A = this chain, B = another copy of it.
């Protein structure tokens, strides 16, 4: 390995080849601190050409490569295994915004750009880059693309896949594919772009991308509605979509139990309703005209929904500050949940029409198997994406309950599968769910995926052990 190491140092400079344990440690442990791997070194190239040279070198020496951006992934996709044979390729130095084209509504960014910086640069140019998620202050766009990240704006703008027009990629063999197209229409061959997006670095390395930009909304306003059932929430969703169409940018379901937990752990936060309700929905409208127009629209939707008896009570925010207060309830659910103790989390999605039945059926199955288990159910209902989390019964110790994780995952994921859903809505597969998908994907689909992997990375050097 000495010759390999020497060549790495000559290629990118010794300062960017990390070998000391204290230097490499932050790159080897995952975001949630559930696992640590080993690497022979961490390499930090300055640009696409240096990265391509390193990949060619890794091919020559048959060294497995683990690409990494902000290392905020949730499925153990960006850390190496514990063999110590791989290198980590950190892309954080590829952090230039290469171009912003407000007329074409595009920007070209390098993989290591932090999401927050991209949002900010778009804003400076009078445009919106809508991808937004909890880790935005440290995650990188390369990771967002490689995991096809979701976030809070999918209902209106789609996943990261829908926000990307073109890519630059270093192939598994260390060649550079320049597919940095800023085109809305281009039918000239296979869709390589979407193959690399969501592939978690197992087919090649995304080094830059052309992203879509949008006009900035003039106003954003929310409403909070109280309802009886998830099915009523679906009625409300259809209604809101028919009136607001794509102005509806948020539609979040929260069970009464979620908001009870918020109130328990943050007593200052009180819901604006006299009574308790079984379900709540947060609606967000992004308006291209004015705050007044947004308010009129929201009030109209709420009033029609009341006439149809879909909702029992509601408040419409009268200002951006009130809107933020409503979002605060939603954002405090994960915090309240954590204060109540660890729980068993699931990132699932379903056809929207199946959500009511999924919740009813799965709640019943879990109650039968684990009496007293408490479901903390909330999520982006408009996308069919539920955070279906399971907390320990009040009378049972947290730790002993957590030992049921595998059994609970099985019940939840089997139910998701029976309801035509996905066991990973937005987090990906990584090393964490690699064996789990074998239970739910057909042999035909797995074979197709293996054929593609074999075709593009025949030496299995790109992020081995992830997805496949």
Q: Are B215 and A185 in contact (CB under 8 A)?
A: no
Least distance between A146 CB and chain B CB atoms (Å): 10
Is A368 at the interface (CB under 8 A from chain B)?
A: no
Cβ contacts A177-211/B at 8 Å (1 or 0 each): 11101111111111110110111000100000000
Least CB separation from A349: chain B residue: B185
Residues of B within 8 A of A444 (CB): 171, 175-178
CA–CA, A161 and B164, complex, Å: 13
Residues of B within 8 A of A276 (CB): none
Q: Are A190 and B452 in contact (CB under 8 A)?
A: yes
Least CB separation from A451: chain B residue: B455
Count of this chain's copies in the oligomeric assembly: 2
Given A184-B384, A186-B349, A242-B288: A177 touches B101 (CB 8 Å cut-off): no
Of A58-66, A312-320, A399-407, A425-433, the segment with at least 4 beta carbons within 8 Å of chain B is A425-433
Q: Are B188 and A423 in contact (CB under 8 A)?
A: yes
Give the contacts of A423-463 with B (CB-CB under 8 A).
423-429, 433, 437, 440-442, 444-445, 447-449, 451-456
CA–CA, A214 and B156, complex, Å: 12
CA–CA, A176 and B443, complex, Å: 10
- Other-chain contact of A104, B176, B243, B353, B380 (Cβ < 8 Å): B353
Residues of B within 8 A of A195 (CB): 190-191, 194-195, 452
Is A113 at the interface (CB under 8 A from chain B)?
A: no
Of A2-10, A147-155, A325-333, the segment with at least 4 beta carbons within 8 Å of chain B is A147-155
Is A292 at the interface (CB under 8 A from chain B)?
A: no
Least CB separation from A443: chain B residue: B175
Given A190-B195, A424-B186: A103 touches B161 (CB 8 Å cut-off): no
Given A185-B150, A426-B187: A456 touches B449 (CB 8 Å cut-off): no
Residues of B within 8 A of A449 (CB): 189-190, 192
Is A106 at the interface (CB under 8 A from chain B)?
A: yes
Q: Are B189 and A437 in contact (CB under 8 A)?
A: yes
- Other-chain contact of A385, B185, B191, B242, B243 (Cβ < 8 Å): B185
Residues of B within 8 A of A349 (CB): 183-186
Least distance between A144 CB and chain B CB atoms (Å): 12
Q: Are B199 and A353 in contact (CB under 8 A)?
A: no
Least CB separation from A188: chain B residue: B424
Least CB separation from A215: chain B residue: B242
Q: Are B442 and A244 in contact (CB under 8 A)?
A: no
CA–CA, A384 and B165, complex, Å: 13
Residues of B within 8 A of A136 (CB): none
CA–CA, A420 and B184, complex, Å: 12
Q: A177-B442, A188-B440, A189-B441 are in contact. List 8 more A-B contacts (CB 8 A).
A: A103-B238, A183-B422, A187-B428, A188-B422, A188-B423, A188-B433, A243-B288, A246-B246
Residues in chain A within 8 A of chain B (CB atoms): 101-106, 147-148, 150, 154-155, 159, 161-162, 171, 175-179, 181-192, 194-195, 197-199, 203, 214-217, 234, 238, 241-247, 288-289, 349-354, 380, 383-385, 420-429, 433, 437, 440-442, 444-445, 447-449, 451-456, 467
Listed by A's residue number, 13 A-B pairs whose Cβ atoms lie within 8 Å are: A101-B351, A101-B353, A103-B352, A104-B352, A150-B187, A159-B185, A162-B162, A185-B383, A188-B429, A189-B198, A245-B247, A451-B455, A452-B455
